[in-house]
A = this chain, B = another copy of it.
């Protein structure tokens, strides 16, 4: 077998080796049933145990309060951009959006098609987003149907390090790229959604955590299959669930628990991010992080080199050393190092060593 790459992809991202090995070991025969998990009925007891275990691990690890429901949906965050206003933006209401990047823009775009919207904060400056807003810059309309935010911005390498105060207005957060990176207070949010393919599992399933009372506000003039209330009522089994993706989430959560849970993840992730940013800052004549320090992301660190030519060479030489998917998003260029839960600290050590070597030889 080829040696395993150090995969710094922004997503679909590297998965814990343990989660993959578990899947491989039982891929043809799930727990002695003589049937693959890919072939098990979503209504059979074997899959049902996986479904329950995934939910129960989520509730335990993320400390999800009992008045919140855990849903497994499909379509990624992009579907949620549309489903949030479809469900909660009633006629005559307006929804607030906190703008911190392309994903916020896409979420706002879908809401605008369906109803009234309002910008609660916007940090776009000179065509890009170099930071998230400070708390005092966010103005939530107290009559808003909800306030929407993106907690981490993969493209710009920015992240909220606080939860905005939204009063009685339900705060809805796209946490696709930083859910479960550390312990957090679910009760500050009305609804949280996250495509699994960064911190939780493979592509193909979206985690939704929703406060029960919001299910009563769901619009009844939208298709039943798109109502959060339907999914909650049927425990995400209103139709065939993406069983294998949920099974993989379960495997990742088992690994996460074995690592010591979210508190251990926070230490691990902060250490990885510190190593990386320290390297950038200590070689500031060669590497430059465009992000305001208070907004730097622990999940996606972005930086520039003196020229695009050098950036290209950096990516190529790192790749030759098995460190791959370091190219920044096409819209902004530069280097992007994704540091999700499954990324091994040793990979970041290798990368930092390479960064030093590269700066010395090319600087």
| A interface residues with partner B (beta carbon < 8 Å) | 1-5, 7, 9-15, 17, 20-21, 23-24, 27-29, 32-36, 38-42, 44, 74-79, 81-82, 85-86, 109-110, 113-114, 195, 197, 202-205, 221-226, 238-245, 248, 322, 324-325
Chain B residues contacting A27 (CB-CB under 8 Å) are 20, 23-24, 27
Q: Which of B2, B223, B239, B243 contacts A33 (CB 8 A)?
A: B2
Q: Which residue of B lies closest to A242 (CB)?
A: B204
Taking CB atoms, residues of chain B closer than 8 Å to A39 are 7, 9, 12-15, 202
CB-based contact B7/A240 at 8 Å: no
Contact of A203 among B79, B224, B241 (CB under 8 A): B241
Interfacial chain B residues near A20, Cβ < 8 Å:
27-28, 36, 38
A141 to B46, CA, bound (A): 46
A195–B239 Cα distance when bound, in Å, is 11
Q: Which residues of chain B come closer than 8 Å to A238, judged between CB atoms?
A: 78
Extra 19 A-B pairs, beta carbons < 8 Å, given A79-B239, A82-B225: A1-B28, A7-B35, A9-B39, A9-B40, A12-B40, A12-B240, A14-B35, A15-B38, A20-B38, A38-B202, A78-B239, A79-B225, A86-B223, A109-B224, A203-B240, A203-B244, A204-B243, A204-B244, A244-B244
Q: Chain B residue with minimal CB distance to A109? A: B224
How far, in whole Å, are A90 and B143 apart by their CA atoms in the complex? 32
Q: Are B243 and A35 within 8 A (Cβ)?
A: no
Smallest CB-CB separation from A6: which chain B residue?
B34
Contacting pair A4 B29 (CB below 8 A): yes
Chain B residues, Cβ within 8 Å of A109: 224
B14 touches A82 (CB 8 A): no
Selected from B28, B35, B75, B110, the residue in CB contact (under 8 A) with A75 is: B75
Q: What are the nearest 7 A-B pairs in CB distance?
A: A82-B223, A204-B242, A78-B239, A74-B74, A5-B34, A2-B34, A24-B27
**Which of chain B's residues have a CB closer than 8 A to the CB of A243?**
12, 202-204
The winner among A78, A203, A245 for most chain B CB atoms within 10 A is A203
Closest B residue to A239 using CB positions: B78
Question: In the bound complex, how far is the Cα of B29 from the Cα of A14, in angstroms?
Answer: 12
Cα A34 to Cα B322 in complex, Å, equals 9
A204 contact from B34, B114, B204, B324, Cβ within 8 A: B204
- Answer whether A15 and B1 are a contact pair too, CB < 8 Å, given A225-B75, A242-B245: no
Query: How far, in angstroms, from A241 to B78 measured CA to CA in the complex?
Result: 11
Partner of A240, one of B1, B76, B239: B76
- Contact (A9, B203) CB under 8 Å given A2-B33, A32-B2: no
For A241, what are the chain B residues with a Cβ–Cβ distance below 8 Å? 203
Return 29 A-B CB contacts under 8 Å, by A number: A1-B29, A4-B29, A4-B35, A7-B39, A9-B39, A9-B41, A12-B39, A12-B240, A14-B39, A20-B28, A20-B38, A34-B322, A35-B324, A38-B248, A41-B325, A74-B79, A75-B79, A75-B225, A75-B239, A76-B240, A77-B239, A79-B225, A79-B226, A86-B223, A113-B222, A197-B240, A203-B243, A204-B242, A204-B244
Residues of B within 8 A of A226 (CB): 79, 82
Q: How far is the CA of A242 from the CA of B72 in the complex (A)?
A: 14
| Complex Cα spacing A109 to B222, Å | 11
